[in-house]
Amino acid sequence: MQIEPNKVVTLNYTLKDDAGHIIDESSDGSFIYLHGAGNIIPGLENALTGKSAGEEISVSVPPEQAYGPRDDSRIEAVPRKMFPDDIEIQPGMEFHAQGPEGQVITIVVVSVEGDTVNVDGNHPLAGVALNFDVKVIDVRDATAEEIEHGHVHGAGGHAHE
């Protein structure tokens, strides 16, 4: 069975940057997604289309087909009072915030200067070319419920709360 929209795909992969540093990996068959539902970055999804269980590919995905280019306008200074009072804010900490279109985004603290916290709203991999070594473990038809919900459900179904 080939990978195409509305197929559930199980992968093992290693993700590296251009310098060869491992960014992420999954080698236990636990990475499962619904193809065509936008659950993975477009560049990898496009490269996997048409592949079958047992196939292995290596693909380099440019930032434009991954998490986008870095956008300096997403770096901003915000008042310290926008953060919980009981937490010592330090560089590298991550928080969830509401994006310009109401979506939840992750922001990373860049620096703290007195009552000002400088944050970066770019995805941590924005501007980074991503290099994947992927093995397709399994491909199956998605259930009607998985297609309706836009994501894979585990064994025994899925309950939304």
Average pLDDT value over all residues in the chain: 93
Are residue 63 and residue 11 in the same domain, yes or no? yes
Q: List, as one string, the DSSP characters of 2-17.
A: B--TTEEEEEEEEEE-
Within-domain flag for 141: yes
Are residue 91 and residue 43 in the same domain, yes or no? no
| Region 106-110 average pLDDT | 93
Within-domain flag for 154: no
User: For residue 60, what is the domain's CATH number?
Assistant: 3.10.50.40
Domain that holds residue 139: 7-67+126-149
Among 33, 61, 24, residue whose Cα is nearest residue 46: 61
144 burial via Cβ count (<10 Å: 0-12, 13-18, 19+):
exposed
Are residue 84 and residue 135 in the same domain, yes or no? no
Q: What is the domain count for the chain?
A: 2
The CA-CA-CA angle for residues 133, 48, 2, to 5°, reads 125
The pLDDT of residue 160 is: 47
- The answer to whether the beta carbons of residues 128 and 66 sit under 8 Å apart is yes
Within-domain flag for 62: yes
- Total-model pTM: 0.81
User: For residue 98, what is the domain's CATH number?
Assistant: 2.40.10.330
- The answer to whether the beta carbons of residues 10 and 39 sit under 8 Å apart is no
128's tokens: 């980074």
Are residue 52 and residue 78 in the same domain, yes or no? no
The pLDDT of residue 87 is: 92
Give residue 121's Cα distance to chain centre: 14
Within-domain flag for 33: yes
Q: Is the pLDDT of residue 76 over 90?
A: yes
64's tokens: 């434009």
Q: How confident is the model at residue 155 (pLDDT cuts 50, 70, 90)?
A: low
Within-domain flag for 155: no
Within-domain flag for 54: yes
